[in-house]
Structure 1
Amino acid sequence: MKYKKFENTIIARIDKGEDIVEQVKNIALKENIKLASIQALGAINDFTVGVFKTKEKKYYANEFKGDYEIVSLTGTINTMNGEYYSHMHLSAGNDQGEVFGGHLNKAIVSATCEMVIQVINGQVDRYFDEEIGLNLLKL
């Protein structure tokens, strides 16, 4: 992974074999990012996305292997209890044009991933909401 910072914007290239989730964390920790938005595109060959079942308050994971293009990767970097926290969603399409997606748990790059991280001056923490069963923004 390589990246360059331009004022409050980071342009990153995540390389073949690297996990997008891990590399976002590496950048955020190295740059001490407390709040940011993320967008990306690229190619992946092994990814896991989840769907939150609200009645059960539980995530269910779906794993995919093969050739996929990232149609959309969007998310946030913020904090929970003052520590790094990210929340990303991914949609990826196969060679038949079928798209699968959800809450991003893992995505291994097969060629490249081009990412833009827009750093926001400030900090928004999260807290666990018992009723919803998720870590929500504390605003």
Structure 2
Amino acid sequence: MEYKRFGNTVAVKISRGEEVMASLKQVCEKENIKCGQISGIGAAGHVVVGLYKVAEKKYYSNAFDGEMEMTSLIGNVSEKDGGVYLHCHANFAGADGRAVGGHLSEAVISGACEIFIDIADGGIGRRLDAATGLNVFDFS
């Protein structure tokens, strides 16, 4: 993984065999990013995406393997318990054009991946929302 900062924007290149979420966390820690927006595209060979069922307060994950285009990666950076907290969703399409997507847990790059992080001044924390079981923005 390589990256370069341009003011309040960071361009990230994630290479073949590297994992997206771990790479993004590493960049955010090194650059002390506490609040920002993530967007990107790329190609992956292994992904884990999921869906949160609010009524059950539980994530359900699905793993997919094979050549896939990352047609969209979007997410945000905040803080939880003093550390970086990433919340990303992504869509991936196979050669047949069928897409899978959801809450991104893992994506291993098969070709290349290009991501931008737009940094916002300040920081946003997270707190557990008892009604949903989700870690939501905490502006206090």
TM-fit CA distance, 1:28: 0.3
The secondary structure found in structure 2 opposite 1:21 is helix
The 3-state SS of whatever aligns with 1:48 is: strand
The corresponding residue for 1:124 is 124
| Alignment deviations for residues 104-129 of structure 1 (CA, whole Å, 9 cap, x no partner) | 00000000000000011011100011
Write out aligned runs for 1:1-139 (5 A): 1-139=1-139
SS at match of 1:22: helix
**Unpaired runs of 5+ in structure 1?**
none
> Could you tell me the TM-score, scaled by structure 1's length?
0.98
CA contact (8 A) 1:45 1:108 kept: yes
Deviations 1:57-110 (A, max 9, x none): 100000000010011100001101332101000100000110100000000000
Calculate the aligned-residue CA RMSD, in Å: 0.6
SS at match of 2:26: helix
- Distance between the aligned counterparts of 1:88 and 1:55, measured in 2? 21
Q: Is there any run of 5+ residues in structure 2 with no aligned partner, and where?
A: none
Between the aligned partners of 2:84 and 2:5, the Cα distance in structure 1 is: 19
Q: Distance in 2 between matches of 1:82 and 1:52?
A: 24
Alpha-carbon distance in structure 1 between the residues aligned to 2:46 and 2:82: 31
Question: Which portions of structure 1, spanning 4 or more consecutive aligned residues, are displaced by more than 3 angstroms?
Answer: none
